[in-house]
Structure 1
Amino acid sequence: MARIEIYTTPFCGYCARAKGLLDSKGVAYEEMDVMMDDKKRTEMRERARRHTVPQIFINGEHVGGSDELAALEQAGKLDAMLAQPG
């Protein structure tokens, strides 16, 4: 299975939507809460070059946020990405 990392904050609707999609696929992911962790937030900004959450990485590749993850699903590309070994 792919290695999935998702930077989130609590009470974030977009984060919940992205995690819900990943949960529906039955895949495990590493969630990093950046709300109170400045080190993780800085890491997210450096990796993603964005400051909003969620930011999602699959096998180290930045795929974007919730909308981009949903677009991959609608385009039929997400399952193949999730099947690749991480």
Structure 2
Amino acid sequence: MSDVTQRIADIVEANDVVLFMKGTPLFPQCGFSNRAVSILDHCGVTYESVDVLQDMEIRQGIKSFSDWPTIPQLYVKGEFVGGSDIMMEMFEAGELQTMFGEKGVASAS
């Protein structure tokens, strides 16, 4: 396992919900990352974010790690969920909220 793959795996394993994104939740750097943050904030869950613009190894490595070509990418309890389009579809159908509940994801206080 490469160094960057191990770093990504450690981040995913250490956090119930992780969003690999461009920018930060307070200052998203693309519309898709902004939409992903809005969805997670609306769901009221606690999540970690990783700004891929600050680390080019992670920016490239996350695409191989998930076998998904775009960013943002959401992981819940170690499982890859998808990007902002999939998040939006799941949110609108109530599936994302159900997943958070079923997996025991903590609510933001």
TM-score, normalised with respect to structure 2: 0.69
What's the % identity of the aligned pairs?
33
Inter-partner Cα distance in structure 2 for 1:76 and 1:23: 15
Shift of 1:32: 0.4
| Runs of at least 4 residues off by over 6 Å | none
Inter-partner Cα distance in structure 2 for 1:43 and 1:54: 13
Amino acid at match of 1:64: G
Residues 1-86 of structure 1 aligned to structure 2 (within 5 Å)? 3-10=16-23, 11-83=29-101, 84-85=103-104
1:35 aligned counterpart, secondary structure = helix
Over alpha carbons, which structure has the higher Rg?
A: 2
Q: Which runs of 5+ in 2 are unaligned?
A: 1-14, 24-28
Inter-partner Cα distance in structure 2 for 1:64 and 1:19: 13
Considering Cα pairs closer than 8 Å and 6+ residues apart, tell me whether 1 or 2 has the greater RCO: 1
Q: Which runs of 5+ in 1 are unaligned?
A: none
Inter-partner Cα distance in structure 1 for 2:31 and 2:67: 21
Aligned residues: 85
